[in-house]
Amino acid sequence: MKYSLFSLARNALSHHERWPRAWRSPPPKQFYDVVIIGGGGHGLATAYYLARNHGITDVAVIEKGYIGGGNTGRNTTIIRSNYYLEPNAHFYEHSLKLWEGLSADLNYNVMFSQRGVVNLAHSYADLDNYSRRGNAMRLNGIDAELLTREEVSGMVPLLDCSSTARYPIMGGLLQRRGGTARHDAVAWGYARAADAGGVDIIEQCEVTGLRRDGNRIVSIETTRGVIRAKKIGLAVAGHSGHIAGMAGLRLPIETHVLQALVSEPVKPVLDTVVTSGAVHFYVSQSDKGELVLGGDLDMYNSYGQRSNLPPVEHAVQALLALFPSFSRLRMLRTWGGVMDMSMDGSPIIGKTPLDNLYLDCGWCYGGFKATPASGWCFAHTIANDQPHELNAAFTLDRYGLGKAIDEKGGGPYPWVH
C-alpha cells in the first residue's frame, strides 16, 4: 500500500486496522544469489539498490537482532558532505544527493531535514583549516560557506560567542544542505522498499560461522540454519573484524564504542546542527525536542555496547562550554554504539582476497550519512564484481600500498580518527 496523506485518511476510517506489514518476515531459504550480512542501514540499502539498480532480487539480508538495531539505530543522525579529500568528497556528496530524494524514492518519510550543519572554528588555525576544506568542497561542487562569529551567533543564538569563552567562537564552516534524518525510518524505509523489490529480510538470525573452501565462502552458518549464496556482502559495522575472522581474514579495523546521549525534550531552541572539532562534540535538536549529543570514543577496543561515564561527562562539558544556558536541562538516556574504526578514518567498500566475499566497513563516526551511497556503491560492486568509480579508492589493500585516505592526518591509530 502506497503511503500518502490519502491512504492515511482512508485507513483512519477503518481505524487503521488494514495497514499491511511494512516488510515480510519470511523464513530463510537455503540458497540466495546474494546474502548481505547485517541489517543496518548499509545492508538494507545495499539490498534495495541490488534490486532497484541491478535487478538482482534473489537477495537476503540477515540480521542477528532487529533491523536498524546497530549503529543505524544509535547514531546522532548528522548528514553532511563537507569532506576535504576527493574520494570522500565525491562519495559523500553523492550520498547527500540521494538523501535529498530518499523519502520520495522509498515512499517512506525519513524526515531528512536540511537544517544546516555548522563546524565551529575556535582559533585562527581552525579558520585556516576550514577555509582549506570549504574551498576544496566548493571546487568539488559542494556547498560551503565560511561564517563570521556574528553570523554563527545569528544562526545559533544560545551559543556563547563571547571572546572570554575557553574556546571562543571565531566563525564557522556551514553546509546548509546538511542536516539530520530520522535514523530508524531509514532502516525501515529501506527494508520496506527492498522487501517490495523481492528481498528477504531475515531478523533474529545470527551468523555464527563462514565455511570456507579455498578462496570461496561456501556456506553461511546461522542460528536459523545453513544458508548458501553465490555472493556474500558483509555490512556489520563494529562486528566486521569478528565476522571477517570467521572467514580467516584480519582487517585493518578496530572496534571501539562511541557514546551518545539525549536530553529531555524541550520546545525548539536549536535549529542548526552544531559541531566542534576542537572539543570533539556535536549536537542537534530532534523533532521530538531532545538535544541529541555525541562525543568521543571510549578510546579502547570494546564491544560492550553500553554507556560509560567519562565520555558522557566530556560531551556534556563541551555542550555547556558552548551553550551555558543548557545546564539545567536533564540527561534522559545514554547509550553506546559499536564502531568500525578504520586505520585512516575512511571506509572500506570493495572486494576481499576471497572471490565471493565483499566488504563494507570502516565507517567510524560517519557512516549514517553514507547509508544511501554506501548501499549504492556496494550493490554496484557486488553486482559487477568491480567497484563503482565512487568507491574505487576505498579498497582494502590501500593501506599496504600507502594510499590511506586520512582526512585528519591522524595516522594508523584508529582511536584518534
Ligand X SMILES: Cc1cc2nc3c(=O)[nH]c(=O)nc-3n(C[C@H](O)[C@H](O)[C@H](O)COP(=O)(O)O)c2cc1C
The whole-angstrom separation of Cα 183 and Cα 179 is 12
Report if residue 292 touches ligand X, rule: CB under 6 A: yes
- 77 sits near ligand X (criterion: CB under 6 A): yes
Which of 159, 217, 318, 390: binder of another protein (CB under 8 A)? 318
- Give the shortest CB-147-to-ligand X separation in angstroms: 25
Q: Which residues, 269 to 328, sit near ligand FAD by CB under 6 A?
A: 294
**CB closer to another protein out of 31 and 167:** 167
292 binds, among ligand X, ligand FAD, another protein, none (CB under 5 to 8 A by kind): ligand X
Question: Nearest approach, Cβ of 39 to ligand FAD (angstroms)?
Answer: 5
What are the CA-CA distances from residue 207 to residues 139, 211, 247 (Å)? 44, 11, 12
Site for ligand FAD in 28-47 (CB under 6 A): 37-43
Here the cell at position 21 is 506489514
Burial class (CB in 10 A: 0-12, 13-18, 19+), 328: exposed
- Name which of residues 237 to 276 contact ligand X (CB under 6 A): 262
Burial class (CB in 10 A: 0-12, 13-18, 19+), 108: buried
Which x/- pattern over 195-224 shows residues binding ligand FAD (rule: CB under 6 A)? Answer: -----------xx-----------------
Considering only 60, 155, 235, 379, the residue that binds ligand FAD (CB under 6 A) is 235
Q: Report which of 407, 330, 341 is spatially closest to residue 71, judged by C-alpha positions.
A: 341
Instruction: Tell me which of another protein, ligand X, ligand FAD, none is bound by residue 189, counting a contact when its beta carbon lies within the kind-specific cut-off of 5 to 8 angstroms.
Output: another protein
Nearer to another protein, 54 or 196 (CB): 196
How does DSSP assign 364-382, residue by residue?
Answer: GGG-TTTHHHHHHHHHHHH
Q: Which three cell numbers stand for residue 196?
A: 517490495
Strand 357-361 relative to strand 225-234, pairing: parallel
Note whether 119 binds ligand FAD by CB under 6 A. no
**Residue 364 — left, alpha, or beta (φ > 0 → left; ψ -120 to 50 → alpha)?**
left
Question: Binding of another protein at residue 251 (CB under 8 A)?
Answer: yes
For residue 35, give Cα distances in angstroms to 19, 217, 357, 387.
Answer: 29, 11, 10, 18
DSSP string computed for 213-264: ETTEEEEEEETTEEEEEEEEEE--GGGHHHHHHHTT---SEEEEEEEEEEEP
- The residue (of 148 and 301) whose beta carbon lies closer to ligand FAD is 301
141: cell is 561542487
Among 41, 73, 116, 189, binds ligand X (CB under 6 A): 73
Cβ nearer to ligand FAD, comparing 81 with 149: 81
CB 176 within 8 A of CB 145: yes
Q: Does 333 bind ligand X (CB under 6 A)?
A: yes
Q: Does 193 bind another protein (CB under 8 A)?
A: no
For helices 41-54 and 183-196, the axis angle rounded to 10 degrees is: 30
In the complex, the residues that contact ligand X under the rule CB under 6 A are 73-75, 77, 183, 262, 286, 288, 290, 292, 332-333, 335
Q: Which residues bind ligand FAD (CB under 6 A)?
A: 37-43, 62-65, 69-72, 74-78, 206-207, 235-237, 239, 243, 258-260, 294, 337, 339, 363, 365-369
